[in-house]
Amino acid sequence: MPFHMLKKTVVSGAVLLTAACGLFSEEKIPLEGQRISVLEGSGVLQPDFKPGEIKITVPAPVMNSSWSQNGGNSRHLMQNPYSDNKLKEEWSSSFGSGDSKRDFLIAAPVAAYKVVFAIDADGIVSAFRMDSGKRIWKRRLKPLIKDDQSTSMKGAGLAVMDKKVFATTGFGGIFALDMVTGKQLWRYDTGMPIRIAPTAGHGVLFAQTIDNHLYAFNSADGSVLWDYKSVSENTTLVGGASPAYSPSQDVVIAAFSSGEIRAFKASTGSPLWGDVLVARRRTNSLSNINAIKANPVIDGDVVYAAGSSNIMVAIDLRTGARIWEKEIGSTNMPWVAGKYLFVLSNNFDLLAMEAKSGKIIWNIKVPAGQDAEEKIGVSLNGPVLTNNRLLVATSSGYAFAISPYTGKILGFVTLDDGVEISPIVAGGYAFLTTKDADLVAYK
């Protein structure tokens, strides 16, 4: 299933996609005329520069052997990982239970040591060979109580460090597994559901419960180093933001469902500064929810963070002062690459921005449906920059390759099922995870 090249791409109020060959044949996805989603606000995010005025450059692609956790690494800063120019499907493997009426698949896979790890909606962790998709082992993570049917979304997230696989679960358990065998090494029970993948680095594991309780663990034995309790929120989103951790700066940035973002001294848990990402102006249904679902990103002395409540900010890591803010709401992690960043808004916009100023260089609408009715319930996931193109996957079953320089859609693939988890890239492969718990490898 190769990425098809598009014969024609128009980005100016209407987008016409026609497959050059294969999966779509003569099928089209027209977005003609003025279509207004029920989730969209009335404002339009206009570029701050004339076309061609800013020439975007991104760091050269670098082969990364691992994608160790949600966001790629502990800082959520992967730049431009390498993959082949023409991505073709290499293998596909099922790793268990996907979305159902009561369970949701919310955890992204991770990769390290030429192995890909995934956790399904029922809390089963599987390890696959990266080159073939052959399953190496699987382990069901069980709650302390016998009846676990009261807890949905049992698999919350994974991280890999020091040849251990760390898993957080919807029934509140945090597990450390031997990477080679899947044998349980230690567990900790928080007593509250977890909907967020853990963050790992420098011998420390960070995990956060649904009631905004942040824990720091010694990754070797599971002992609690420190913890912090933020204000709970009654209304939130499925999933949440994994903390961003910079071991060299001894800082961890956590985002909560209350809209609070807070910096801590990672070694002691001492709070350093805080901010609240809640917009003054509410423009759509998502902007009425304060939760932060997008991972914060640490790039040098700057933190980039986006709230679902129609606000995105750059914050000075040392002081907590805002460098800039924009009226952009997002549930996807901003992707930072060199001097630029790319972000998917809640209104199906994909934007390229100057990292230092927050000014918009280009903006396109990613196809999510022919009209407002078809967009209901559709989610966009990404972007992930790999080998000089942005990957964006949709819950309606498409994955697009988009130019980071112009916003032009370069190609796409279709999947038998939709994608509600951002792609990952490791070892030259790009991995997509479908709602039906299929792990699909492209190379």
Band (211; pLDDT cuts 50, 70, 90) = very high
What's the pLDDT at 415? 84
pLDDT at 39 over 80: no
- Fold that domain 4-442 belongs to in CATH: Methylamine Dehydrogenase; Chain H (2.130.10)
Band (33; pLDDT cuts 50, 70, 90) = very low
Q: Cβ-count burial of 262 within 10 angstroms (0-12 exposed, 13-18 middle, 19+ buried)?
A: buried
| Whether the Cβ atoms of residue 441 and residue 429 lie closer than 8 Å to each other | yes
pLDDT at 43 over 60: no
- 300-329 average pLDDT score: 96
Band (377; pLDDT cuts 50, 70, 90) = confident
- 136-141 average pLDDT score: 97
Residue 111's CB is within 10 A of a number of other CB atoms, namely 26
- 425-443 average pLDDT score: 96
- 370-388 average pLDDT score: 79
- 27-44 average pLDDT score: 40
What's the pLDDT at 134? 98
The C-alpha atoms of residue 168 and residue 243 are separated, in whole angstroms, by 13
**Does the CA dihedral 344-345-350-353 come out positive or negative?**
negative
The proportion of the chain whose per-residue pLDDT surpasses 90, expressed as a percent, equals 72
Write down the domain spans for the chain: 4-442
The C-alpha atoms of residue 258 and residue 236 are separated, in whole angstroms, by 8
Query: Which comes out higher in pLDDT, residue 8 or 136?
Result: 136
pLDDT at 40 over 90: no
pLDDT at 245 over 60: yes
